[in-house]
Structure 1
Amino acid sequence: MTLPVALTGTDVIGQAKTGTGKTLGFGIPLLERVTVPADVEAGRAAPEALTDAPQALVVVPTRELCIQVANDLLTAGKVRNVRVVSIYGGRAYEPQVEALKKGVDVVVGTPGRLLDLAGQGKLVLKHVKCLVLDEADEMLDLGFLPDVEKIIDMLPAKRQTMLFSATMPGAVIGLARRYMSHPTHIRATAPDDEGATVANIRQFVYRAHSLDKPEMVARILQAEGRGLAMIFCRTKRTAADIAEQLQRRGFAAGAVHGDLGQGAREQALRAFRNGKVDVLVCTDVAARGIDVEGVTHVINYQSPEDEKTYLHRIGRTGRAGASGTAITFVDWDDVPRWQLINKALGLDFHEPVETYSTSPHLFSDLGIPEGTKGVLPRSERTRAGLDAEELEALGETGQAADDHLMSSQREAIERVLQEID
């Protein structure tokens, strides 16, 4: 639905459920708008239209999504040799600056690093013909908005602007119109599929006790037919703790959260995609846009903040027509929060059923074999595990600065101690 509109150069607001292929909805028009040497050779464009500065810019909220979108665009643009570069924080600057110097057609990036390089004059934005905000509602949220506005101010006024997301509150659309000219709002849903959630995801909501949750998760992960699983936690500390507990129980688990270095985050996601680990414990940094084939189960270890977060989290399964299972644990004190989400999405889990790791309905609902305990039998520990995936040395930013800070702090403390002596 978006292709014919976007290919004419019209501004687009695109909204469709998770897992329906939004990346190529903006990716194909964007790749078509870019002028490459093949166009000049075929006589479709004048030689002076060629430039080594980016002609299209995609802004995304997370580093993980940045890598994924860049890879998708590289694959789609392979035949025309479109040069795509991903620019995001947590990595060394030099390779990114080097890639920009060599020449690039499409830049995919996170706001902080984009602003940084544009401010230093390393990233030239005056030739950009097309701007995309992926996960637009997140990009126009208070956290990102000032940075996004600064980036938009650096772009030519005459350009195509496209916004894409699964969730698009009215306030966001109102805000977006400030940066767009006569946008076409395209909302794609199947005629028989009215609900906000994807129809082929089975949803279960249980009121669970926090001390019993690790045991429940370990049993759910032994359900029949389980492929890859993602577990979402509200805090970085919980995510790290659950990943560690599951490893001790024999599961091949990895973690993705903001306290990990970028190398470790990418290692865990790569291991998950390659099947070396089959359980990924993460915070909401992995809730948007991440597309991994074969994810059959999503577990919300803690109730999500709001209905948008719930939709994006459970949308990691049931993608591209596949089916999936979403399980949400609601603590006693989170019941009012859950009831608001339930009402907003029109679900029928107003009173989550009280559930323990021994509850018969847990086993029957999710197809867990009778007698399953919270430790994975040794005979089933067949995955290579996180350590089998190589940890890249990314020249991570912050580490040298931290070391320098620590040494200067040590010197200051030593001076104070000498004075006291």
Structure 2
Amino acid sequence: MVRFISFTYLFFGVVFFASAQHPEMVTQKKRLDFAKMYFELGGNLIPSFTGYGMINNEIEAINNPASFSPYLNWGAFHFWGHAEFYVSIPLTQFNLSSSSDSDYELTNAVVTGFRYLPWAYKDQQLTPYMGLSWQGTEFKQIFGIETDQPTLSKDFGIMPEIGILYGYKGFTARLGASYSQNTQWNYPISTNQFQKIETPDFALQLGILYAWENSHSKNKEVNKRWNAYPRVSNLNTGATTEGDFFIAAGPSTSFSTESSGYNNSQLPYLQSQLTSELYFDLAVGYQSNSADYFIVLSFRNPQFEASGYGTTQTIQKTSLAFEVCKFITDYTGFAPYIGLNMAYDHIQYSENTNAHDIDTQSFEPGLTIGWDIVPGKVEEALILRTNLRWYPFSSFEVEGITFDFGQLEYNLIQAVFYPGRLIRSRRL
């Protein structure tokens, strides 16, 4: 807690320093200037820490070196440069020194976050920010000549962060820091022995991003009409068509929301809450422009795997979900929605050590929330969408023991294409 308070004071010091140099300039806030997209290449610098392992049948301390973990960010500046929304995909990990006796892996799974900029982002000025990121963290301690130690993960970690941006002609440099309050791991150094390991709670962020504006139409009359929309209005304001069909695709990841009773009792050295590999959410649907809702059929096939000490556990989920979602409002191109869905899940479970092979099907009710980025309301042929689906009741049984499998499916950024809108735009 002391470190967190110090972290907060550091942010306000950064804000004071930047505000003394660059007072806020008042600008006209137009709808089509609401968002600016960017890609960022950067990395997290993680300090060294002490690990533990079972070496020659004795518990020994391990000096884990500092590491650098590159990432690729896809995000945007929203609210006229006062906010960032982004997703971060880890690429790899480089340890800054090596040892023949030990190694480790400490990576963030796919991260999403929000950052607040007290003064709007502008070129050629220092712009401070503070924010929160939501992420899963994975940790594996490697020791001895074997490398079959398990990977543990922590889901839904909330990490505060602070930093400074400096932009020049579309390119921007980032210097930041993040803080994690949940860094203790009860790590299995054997199938029945566990050791407390504490990983670093601070990480330094370095990055370079390129931002561009992509909301304006090539038609000046269209731009004028879009900018004339009220700041807050229904999504169907100005709609001239009943509705449109669409197709969509985007990368996703899934998190278990429940701790598996089966793993806790039978395989305690494996992760009890699983995170999927990255997969694609594919969808087809229809949006009612007149009533501000859409229906969609979504296909997902995430795979989950946990392994360690000779045991490999695999879950292949194939799911088809029908959902109905209602738009709540449209705030200058940011259109949140909420809906209900029903998924048909086919789950195949396999475990190599006990030769368990489970094949089960079920219907699972779920809740969907998300938002569209729609500068042109219902006129744009290609938009970006974010989905979050929650399935709290999913479970199956392995040898009479319940395997809790409640899920959060996070569809990071989905591209949604409306063929009919494209055809209409070319007729203008």
**Interval of TM-score (by shorter of Structure 1 and Structure 2):** under 0.3
What's the TM-score, normalizing by structure 2? Answer: 0.25
Q: Which has the higher contact order (CA 8 A, sep 6+)?
A: 1
What's the TM-score, normalizing by structure 1? Answer: 0.25
More helix as a share of residues: 1
